[in-house]
Structures are given as structure tokens and as C-alpha cells.
Amino acid sequence: MSDIPSSVKPIVRLKDVSIGYELANPLVTIPDLQIYPGEIVAIAGPSGVGKTTLLRTISGLLQPISGEVEVCEKIFPSKLNRGELGYIPQKLGLIRHASVWHNVMLGANAGHKSAWNIFPSSEARASAMSSISVMGLEQKTNEPIRRLSGGQQRRVATARTLAQCPKIIMADEFLSELDEETMKMVLSATIDYMRKNNSSMLVVEHDITRAKSFADRLLVIDDGRVNPFITETTAMEVKV
Ligand SMILES: Nc1ncnc2c1ncn2[C@@H]1O[C@H](COP(=O)(O)OP(=O)(O)OP(=O)(O)O)[C@@H](O)[C@H]1O
Ligand SMILES: [Mg+2]
């Protein structure tokens, strides 16, 4: 992005990276990708092309097949500091028998140091309360996850990540299963959070029209090739 001063360092930087599960058969190659503080970058592409795999690789859950993945100025496999990266997985990863509060506190505790390891800090509790509230889940605070609808569970996963106060959010289809009104509420609460904290977001979004409406840039993973590659364009350029 040409309007970003050269003194600003990217939060995420990928150079000549290939990703996938088999050394000899990479799913996607990414020659160059940088995400800067405050940016929202969307990723689209057909089912099975490797979008979730890309998020898992940037999050440090999966080793790249080749190349360098740098997040918050640390190169894989260096560990990120707790709370630096927030991940909203496609499969949510919630503890089903535990309450909304318990699940959101897992994020809050990861992002807020506690003086006592066994007790949550007051900042962590305040952060959990506020993110449960912005996701419209106050009435469900003490409910176990298994008693919530699919859309409510998705909002819990978003609340858990916002409570963590990360510098970058990896969001995998976090707006799926939501009605139009709830989707707008979740999106605007997440963008508000990002603006306040100058955080960045990399979001997998299968609805391209929606991605263009909120993202600064759109990456398309094209599987019309043996080794698909990422084409980059600005949301402004592709708007009709
Ligand atoms: N743990 C794994 N081991 C081996 N192959 C995997 C694993 N997880 C996913 N894959 C394969 O990698 C490919 C890409 O999967 P991925 O989940 O990244 O796709 P996606 O673009 O996120 O798809 P969708 O839009 O359906 O969520 C698929 O062919 C899938 O079967
Ligand atoms: Mg996926």
C-alpha cells in the first residue's frame, strides 16, 4: 500500500510462502503479502482451495511448507506473546459444556496479565463483560454453549477474540449463519474495536460483495491453476 509511511512495520508479512499439508504438493503459494496496522484484508476463493489453511499457517498452528511467515515481528516458529493474535476459527473451538462467560474469559485471560495466575485480573473481567455485551449476549452469559444456536455460538467466538484485545484478528467466515441485522451488528462492533485499538484483521469471507463493502483489500485465491496463487486488488478498484 503506497500511502503507508515506510516507518510503519507490517503486522503480518509473508515472503515466498507455500502452504499445505504435503511437502510435494502445496495448496497455495503467496509470493508477497503484507498487512499493516489498522487494515482489513479479506480473502475469498472456492471451497477447499486453502483459505483456512492460510489462516492456520499465519496463526502459527501449521508450519509453512516453504518461505517466511512473520507476525508481530516474530518469524515462525518463534512464539507470539499471549494475546497478540486472535483467531476466530471456522469451527469455533468453543468448550460446549462450559458457559459463555467461561469461554469468553479464556480469551480475556490470554490478553490481560493477571497478578495472580489463578485469578483473572479486573481488566480481563471488564473486557469479557464488554465484549459479551457488544455481541448482544448478556442474557446468555451463564448458558452452556451447547444450548445456544449456531449464530449465537459464532458471536461467542467473536466475543472471546475481542476480549483478548489482539493486535491482529484472523476471522474465518465469522459472519456466517447470522441474519442481516445481527451480521451488521457483529461487523460494526468488530470494526469499532479495531479502530479503537489500531488492530488489523484478515477475514475469510465467501460473500465477495460483502467483503468489498468492509475490506480495504481483497485477496482472491484462484484454484484454476495447479498451484493457485493470490491476486491482490484494492476494494476501491473492484467496486462497481
Ligand atoms: N489437517 C489436514 N490434513 C490434510 N489435508 C487437509 C487438512 N485440513 C484440510 N485439508 C485439505 O486442504 C484443502 C484446503 O482446506 P481448507 O480448509 O484450507 O479450505 P478452505 O478454502 O478453507 O475451504 P472452505 O471454504 O470449504 O472452508 C482441502 O482439500 C482439505 O481437504
Ligand atoms: Mg475454510
Q: Please report the DSSP string for 115-160 in residue order.
A: SSSSS--HHHHHHHHHHHHHTT-GGGTTSBGGGS-HHHHHHHHHHH
Per-residue pLDDT at 100 exceeds 70? yes
38 in a structural domain: yes
CB of 56 closer than 6 angstroms to any ligand 1 atom = no
Q: Which residues contact 107 (CB under 8 A, 6 or more apart)?
A: 86, 128, 131, 159, 160, 161, 162, 163, 164
Report pLDDT for 121: 83
Concatenating the DSSP letter of every residue in 39-65 gives -EEEEE--TTSSHHHHHHHHTTSS--S
Q: Which of 53, 90, 204, 223 to mutate to test the pocket of ligand 1 (most atoms within 8 A of CB)?
A: 53
C-alpha cell at 82: 499471549
Question: Among the ranges 120-124, 151-155, 192-196, which has the highest mean pLDDT value?
Answer: 151-155
CB of 53 closer than 6 angstroms to any ligand 1 atom = yes
Q: How far apart are CA 187 and CA 179, in angstroms?
A: 12
Report pLDDT for 239: 32
Report pLDDT for 230: 63
Least-confidence region, from 52-61, 79-88, 198-207, 212-221: 79-88
123 in a structural domain: no
Report pLDDT for 236: 45
Q: How far apart are CA 165 and CA 159, in angstroms?
A: 10
Q: Which ligand is nearest to the CA of 47?
A: 1
Looking at the CA of residue 54, tell me the nearest atom of ligand 1: 18
107 in a structural domain: no
For strand 217-221 and strand 200-204, is the pairing parallel, antiparallel, or unpaired? unpaired
As for how many domains the chain has, the answer is: 1
154 in a structural domain: no
- Angle (deg, nearest 10), helices 150-163 and 122-134: 140
Region 206-224 average pLDDT? 85
Q: What is the pLDDT of residues 139-176, one digit of tens each?
A: 999 999 999 999 999 999 999 999 999 999 999 999 98
DSSP 8-state symbol, 166: -
Give the chain's largest Cα–Cα span.
54
Per-residue pLDDT at 110 exceeds 60? yes
Report pLDDT for 232: 60
Nearest CA to ligand 1 atom 7: 21
119 in a structural domain: no
159 in a structural domain: no
Region 99-110 average pLDDT? 94
Q: Which helix (H) or strand (E) holds 235?
A: helix 235-238
Report pLDDT for 223: 65
Concatenating the DSSP letter of every residue in 86-113 gives EEE-TT----TTSBHHHHHHHHHHHHS-
Nearest CA to ligand 1 atom 1: 21
161 in a structural domain: no
Supply the CATH number for residue 224's domain. Answer: 3.40.50.300
Residue type at position 99: S
24 in a structural domain: yes
The boundaries of the domain holding residue 11 are 1-81+206-240
